[in-house]
Chains A and B, each alone.
Chain A
Amino acid sequence: MIPTDKALYRAGTVRLPYAQQGAVHPALLGFMAAVLLTTLTGTLVQTQFNLAAVQALGAGIGPGTWLWVTLQDLAGFSPVLFVITLMTFLVAIPASALFCRLTGLPRYLVYTVGTATGLVVAMRLVDHQVPMPTLIAASRGLFGTVALMACAAAGGWIFAAMTSDTRRRAR
C-alpha cells in the first residue's frame, strides 16, 4: 500500500500545505494577532490619555470610573481603531516583508518600524479626510502619537514573532 501524503505528514516525512493540514497559515494568524494587539493596546492608550487630560483639569475620576470608561472605550472606540489598524496593516505588513527581503535588515526591526510608521501615516491620512482636525484625540500631541505608534510596533513585533518559523521553513 502506498502511503498517502497525510500519512507521510503524520510520520514527519513530508510537509503539507497549511490548508491540507487543517491549520490556519501562521502569516494570517500573525496578521490577526497584530491587528488585535494593536487595537486593544491602542484603545487602552487612547483612554488613558483622554482621562489623564480631564483629570488634570480637576475631574476627580476614581479608579472604578476609570476602569468603567476603559471598558466603555473597548466597546465604543475599539471598532474604529480596528478598522484603521486593519487597513494600515494590510499595506504595512506586506510592505515590510518586501522591504525585509530587499534589504536583508532584521525582520523584527523592519516589522515594528513598518507598522508603527504605517499607523501614524494612516492617522494623518484619516485626519486629512474627516471634517474634524484630529480623529483620535490621543494623537493630538507627540507623546500620545508615540504611544499609539508603540502599540502598532507591538503589533509588528508579534507578527514577526509568529511568522519567524514560517520564514525558516521557507529557507
Chain B
Amino acid sequence: MKRHSLQIRLAGALIALLLPTAPLHAHETRIETVVEGLDRPWSLAFLPDGDMLVTERSGQLRRIEADGTLVRDPVKGLPEDIYVDGQGGLMDVVLDPAFEENRRIFISYSCGTRKANHTCLGRAVLGENALEEFREIFRAQPAKQGSAHYGGRIAFLPDRTLLLTIGDGFDYREKAQNKSDHLGSIVRLDRDGQAPDDNPFLGEPAARKELYSIGHRNPQGLLHDPASGRVYSHEHGPRGGDEINVIEAGNNYGWPVITYGVDYNGAQISPLTEKEGMEQPIVVWTPSIAPSGMTLYDGDLFPDWQGDLFSGALAKRKVQRVMLEGGEVQGEEALFEDLNRRIRDVRTGPDGALYLLTDHGNGELLRVVPKDH
C-alpha cells in the first residue's frame, strides 16, 4: 500500500494546475484513413511483414495488407462459440513474442450464451488468411449472465507470460474483491493458459491461481512499458471515476469498495475513495471519458510524445494523452476531438505513426502522422 499515493497524486494535480499547460500542441498532425468499412473494430496488431490484423467485435478477424488493402474475406478458423451481444464479441488480438518462429496469435473473446458466458482466451497459428490449430486456453470463471464488462485486453510481459484483463460482469461487482473467481481481475497466464508458478496468490488456497491483481471494474487498456518495467492499465469507472493504474502483482485496486464514481442512476456505490490495502490510481477521469485501448508512444515521428500514454475515449470521442515523466503524471491533453469519433483502440505503429480504430458500424483504421510527413 502506498500510504502517500493520494498526497502525491493531489500534489501532482496541483502542480499540473499551476504549471502552464502549453506546449500541448507541439505536433501538428495529419490524419489519414487507412481502411474504412470495418464492423466495430476492437483491436489491432502489426505483423512483421507490414500487414495488420484487426478484430471486429461482431466476430471477424480481418487482415489489412501493408499497402492498406483490406482483404475481402475475413480470416477463417475462429472459434464457433464466440458470443456476440452487447459489449461482447471478438476483442483483442496479440502476437506471440516468438511470432516470427511460431506464427502464433492470441485472441480474447466472449464465449458461451446469454445466460452463461465468460471472457475467453484462445491461441492459434496464423496461416494464409486462416487460423490453424485454434485452441481455447483459458475461460474466466464463473459463468455470468448479461453481456457487459468483459475486459478483454491482453499484454505480454518480458518473461513471455501474458496478462489478460477481465471485467466484473457489471451485475457482479462485489466479485471483483473475491479471489475465488476471476471476475474483476487481471490474470497472468503462460502461453498454454496455465498459471505460472510464481503468481502472487498461489499461497492462498481459496484464491484462483491465475489471479495477478484484483479489484478492477472493466479494464480495457493494458500495456507493459519495457523501459520502466511498469504495467499500466486503465478501466471504465461507473459515472465518473475512470482510472489509470500501475499494476503490480498481488495488488488490490479497490473496486467497488473504493471508487471516484457513482452509479449510472445517481446512487452512491461506496462512500470511500481510499482504503488501506487498496491502490490509488495515477489518473482519475471524472466525468468519464470511457477509456478503451492504450499505447505508450515509443515511435520516432513525434519526439515530444515519446514516453507518454495515449488512451482512446469512447464517450468523449477523442484520444487522451497523459504526459509522463519518470512515471509521474505531468499533465494531459485531449487530441483529435474534431474527428468526433468513438476511439476504441490506439496503437503505436512500427513506422512511428499513431493508429486509431473508431468504434462504429462503419469503423475506420486511421493513421496519425506529422502534418508535413
Contact = CB atoms under 8 A, between A and B. Distances in A.
Interface of A: 46-47, 50-51, 53-54, 56-61, 65, 68-69, 72-73, 76-77, 79-81, 130-137, 140
B21 interface: no
B265 interface: yes
Nearest to A141: B171
Q: Which of the four size classes fits the interface of chain B?
A: 20 to 34
25 contacts: A50-B267, A50-B270, A54-B257, A56-B174, A57-B257, A59-B270, A72-B268, A73-B266, A73-B267, A73-B268, A76-B267, A77-B266, A77-B268, A80-B265, A80-B266, A133-B147, A133-B148, A133-B170, A133-B171, A134-B146, A134-B170, A135-B265, A136-B267, A137-B173, A137-B263
- Which of B170, B173, B266, B269 has the largest number of chain A CB atoms within 10 A? B266
Given A46-B267, A72-B268, A59 B257 contact: yes
Contacts of A132: 148, 170, 264
Given A57-B174, A132-B148, A137 B275 contact: no
Contact of B271 (A61, A131, A133, A140): A61
B271 A76 contact: no
B199 interface: no
B291 interface: no
A53 B271 CA distance: 12
B270 A54 contact: yes
B16 to A, nearest CB: 28
A53 B256 CA distance: 9
Given A54-B269, A69-B268, A77-B266, A59 B145 contact: no
B171 A47 contact: no
B262 interface: yes
A105 B145 CA distance: 38
Nearest to B86: A131
A73 to B, nearest CB: 5
A25 to B, nearest CB: 32
- Which of B257, B264, B265, B270 has the largest number of chain A CB atoms within 10 A? B265
A54 B215 CA distance: 12
A150 B146 CA distance: 26
A118 to B, nearest CB: 19
Given A47-B268, A68-B271, A69-B271, A133 B145 contact: yes
Interface in B34-75: none
A130 B267 CA distance: 16
B145 A76 contact: no
A87 to B, nearest CB: 15
Given A59-B275, A132-B148, A132-B170, A137 B257 contact: no
The 10 A-B pairs of least Cβ separation, nearest first, read A133-B146, A76-B266, A77-B267, A54-B270, A80-B265, A77-B266, A69-B268, A57-B177, A69-B271, A140-B171
B272 interface: yes
Contacts of A80: 265-266
Interface string B5-27: 00000000000000000000000
Given A132-B148, A133-B146, A133-B148, A61 B265 contact: no
A131 B269 CA distance: 18
Contacts of A72: 268
Interface in B233-289: 256-257, 262-272, 275
- Which of B171, B177, B271 has the largest number of chain A CB atoms within 10 A? B271
Contacts of A65: 271
A61 B272 CA distance: 8
A53 B146 CA distance: 20
B204 to A, nearest CB: 16
Contacts of A69: 268, 271
Nearest to A43: B267
Contacts of B145: 133
